[in-house]
Amino acid sequence: MNIMDFNVKKLAADAGTFLSRAVQFTEEKLGQAEKTELDAHLENLLSKAECTKLWTEKIMKQTEVLLQPNPNARIEEFVYEKLDRKAPSRMNNPELLGQYMIDAGNEFGPGTAYGNALIKCGETQKRIGTADRELIQTSAINFLTPLRNFIEGDYKTITKERKLLQNKRLDLDAAKTRLKKAKVAEARAASEQEVRITQSEFDRQAEITRLLLEGISSTHAHHLRCLNDFVEAQMTYYAQCYQYMLDLQKQLGSFPSTFLSNNNQSSSTPVQSVSTPSVLASASASLPSVSNSIVTSGISELKSSSGSRKARVLYDYDAANSSELSLLADEVITVYSIPGMDSDWLMGERGNQKGKVPITYLELLN
């Protein structure tokens, strides 16, 4: 027998098997043939696998949306990933906002209160953007990749073996149907032999499928560890963001009361500081503070000398405690620095009153 004859016979046998399965499947749907049911344990395992696949896909897709809300950016990353190429680096939203703030602050003038504040806010936004990138990278490696590996790897293997089990089951039931229809003794003997063979193949495939499905419990345990990693990455990210904003708030001081009402009148309700949650406080204790890199040359000279200067108050300011001095917009006070004072504050005097004042509320006079 040459290779061509062998291939022809194999194709004919495959076609016969396919036809037999199709007939059996159709008769089962029409209620004209009996169907071998899987045992309850195997059915439960199959149901658990389908449920795991369904929710893993939903969680994975929504996590991707959370980490990258821009659908066009997600599509671009997907294309580059399939091409096995690195996507071009672009500024994320916090970084872009930070850059705009810094550019605006430089345009308005770093020596002005508003320009100075914009620059500080912009630097903080860029730090948040960096933390955002770290969250995305860590989450992709420790959380999204394991979920995707299950969908594209383990579950595909389960699906393949499950389909093979279905075919073996159709072969078994088709053989049983032929056995029932066999009238001649010789035909019955052949049909019985076929039933024994197909039953053995079905049992073997059912065992293979069962072993694979029982691995779903291990998958859940692995995904639990990955979920813990994701939560830890989020906790680190939010702790960083909180610390950055806390440092920024310290630099800016309390917000001017004139910004709190539309008619530019003072508000009687002071802005409350955000309390530090214990979890975030402990997680962020070792995070770096935002440096105060923007000071005017006049203030730098004042701090380096022992003299005093006159300064005009830009905005109303309500003292937060007895060590600070309340201010009224457009009044002129005397300011000076003392050793060890925080870089964002000066000592202010108005007649017999004195106390700390934030430098962002002042304009030094010549």
Report residue 113 CA to chain centroid gap: 36
What DSSP designation does 153 have? I
What pLDDT was estimated at residue 271? 41
What pLDDT was estimated at residue 63? 95
Averaged over successive runs of 10 residues, the pLDDT of the chain (366 residues) comes to 58 70 77 83 95 97 88 66 70 93 94 90 96 93 95 96 93 89 85 93 95 94 96 96 92 55 41 43 41 49 76 88 90 89 88 91 85
Q: Which residue has the tokens 């850059």?
A: 99
Pairwise CA distance, residues 243 & 235, whole Å:
12
What pLDDT was estimated at residue 201? 94
Instruction: Name the token pair of 343.
Output: 């870089």
Torsion of CA 49, 211, 207, 27, to 10 degrees: 10
Q: What is the pLDDT of residues 197-241, one digit of tens each?
A: 999 999 999 999 999 999 999 999 999 999 999 999 999 999 999
Q: DSSP 3-state assignment of 366?
A: coil
What pLDDT was estimated at residue 2? 60
Do 354 and 335 meet the contact criterion of CB atoms below 8 Å apart? no
Q: What is the pLDDT of residues 56-92, one digit of tens each?
A: 999 999 999 998 877 776 666 666 666 677 767 788 8
Decide the pairing of beta strands 362-364 and 308-313. antiparallel
What pLDDT was estimated at residue 1? 53
Q: How far is CA 254 from CA 312, 332, 359, 364, in A?
A: 18, 20, 12, 20
Pairwise CA distance, residues 160 & 61, whole Å:
24
